[in-house]
Amino acid sequence: MRLAFFAVLLCASNLAIADKATESQPEMLLEPATLVEHFAGRKAIGEENVILLDVRSEEGFEKEHLPGARHIDAGKWKAAFGDGTDGQAWSERIAKALVTLEDGSTVVVYDEAFSPSAARIWWILKYWGVEDVRVLNGGLAAWKSAGGETVSSPTTVPDSPTEFTARPNPDRLATYQDMQQILGAGGETCVVDTRSDEENTAGYIPSATHLNWQELIVAETGKLRPKKQLQTLLDRVEFDPATRTVTYCHSGGRAAVMAFAMELASGKPVANYHGSWSDWTRHGGERAVDTSNTGR
């Protein structure tokens, strides 16, 4: 299904107010009200092709989804990512998923709320070179709260996939070897643990600061916090856009939420250690233990 997109989202300012709740870079975060108005035909529309990706469970998707949305199995994409070097496989996978992708297309990813799964799919697509990928702020719940309708009928897509060549962006990914080099360099990179307080206290990658990813989300709405609140939180981990930053969690999803928020605040890509704590411990990486709970 081809959808047009409201052209004002392409404004040149780094941060623009999409609604009263959230300030955002229009290239990354989409407010449900904007998409609702598109479907209702109440605003001038540009010519962009919009592809909606639903990353919820298949059962949830079959029950209801946004009109024209396509289902993506976030768990399978997570498992298939590997070490981020299989460009041929990802060229085929993305071409099949984004079957109508073309120059000027906008891809919008959504979950029930702003979630690690939505952020992970955003991150994977950006890593492999899809130019315009956005997350629906607040997901399906916010869409319905904004007056958006859902459908249960299957989405019809063309049989032949588009052509897409996956090109990795190394600025968006950190590996175990990268993390070893980072530790050896002695603090030249900001490493942020995005796991829960309990996980962090039990053990963390040496030199990492800590910010629970859930603090970035407004629990009542499932939306990302407004820019000023995000900046206050990021100041706690001394986030500096001029310094290389790597986020991690247990397996890359929560870290993708943090990377999204940091890029939203700075306009610069942030590396996700996608293998994260599970990869670090599997390789026998050194760990530190926080017994003071006073932060680092």
Query: Is the sign of the CA dihedral 83, 245, 12, 2 positive or negative?
Result: positive
CA 219 to chain centroid, in Å, comes to 18
- Looking at the DSSP assignment, which residues form a beta bridge with residue 78? none
What was the pLDDT predicted at 105?
87
d(CA 43, CA 37): 6
Q: In the chain, pLDDT over 90 holds for what percent of residues?
A: 74
d(CA 12, CA 15): 9
What was the pLDDT predicted at 38?
72
Q: How confident is the model at residue 48 (pLDDT cuts 50, 70, 90)?
A: low
**Residue 26 in contact with residue 79, Cβ under 8 Å?**
no
What was the pLDDT predicted at 102?
86
Element of type H or E holding 81: helix 74-81
Model confidence pLDDT, tens digit, residues 166-187: 999 999 999 999 999 999 887 7
What was the pLDDT predicted at 26?
47
The CB-based long-range contact list for 195-202 (8 Å cut-off, 24+ gap) reads 195/249, 195/250, 195/254, 195/277, 197/293, 199/250, 199/277, 200/290, 201/289, 201/290, 201/291, 201/293, 202/289
pLDDT of residue 128 exceeding 80? yes
Percentage helix, strand, coil for the chain under 3-state DSSP, each rounded to 5:
40, 15, 45
CATH topology for the 170-282 domain: Oxidized Rhodanese; domain 1 (3.40.250)
Task: Give start-end residues of each CATH 3.40.250.10 domain in the chain.
Answer: 7-145, 170-282
Q: Which has more confidence, 43 or 191?
A: 191
Mean pLDDT, rounded, for 225-237: 95
**Residue 134 in contact with residue 109, Cβ under 8 Å?**
yes
Q: Which has more confidence, 36 or 245?
A: 245
Residues 6+ apart with CB under 8 A from 173: 84, 127, 271, 272, 273, 274
Q: How confident is the model at residue 34 (pLDDT cuts 50, 70, 90)?
A: confident
**Residue 22 in contact with residue 31, Cβ under 8 Å?**
yes
pLDDT of residue 4 exceeding 50? no
Q: For residue 135, is it left (φ>0), alpha (ψ between -120 and 50) or beta?
A: beta
Q: Which residue has the tokens 């690690």?
A: 116
Strand, coil or helix: 77: helix
What was the pLDDT predicted at 261?
98
Q: How many residues does the chain have?
A: 296
Q: How confident is the model at residue 292 (pLDDT cuts 50, 70, 90)?
A: low
Average predicted confidence (pLDDT) for the chain: 87
Question: Which residue from 216, 66, 240, 237 is spatially nearest to 146, judged by alpha carbons?
Answer: 66
Beta strand 217-218 with 223-224: parallel, antiparallel or unpaired? antiparallel
What's domain 7-145's superfamily in CATH?
Rhodanese-like domain (3.40.250.10)
Model confidence pLDDT, tens digit, residues 253-274: 999 999 999 999 999 999 999 9
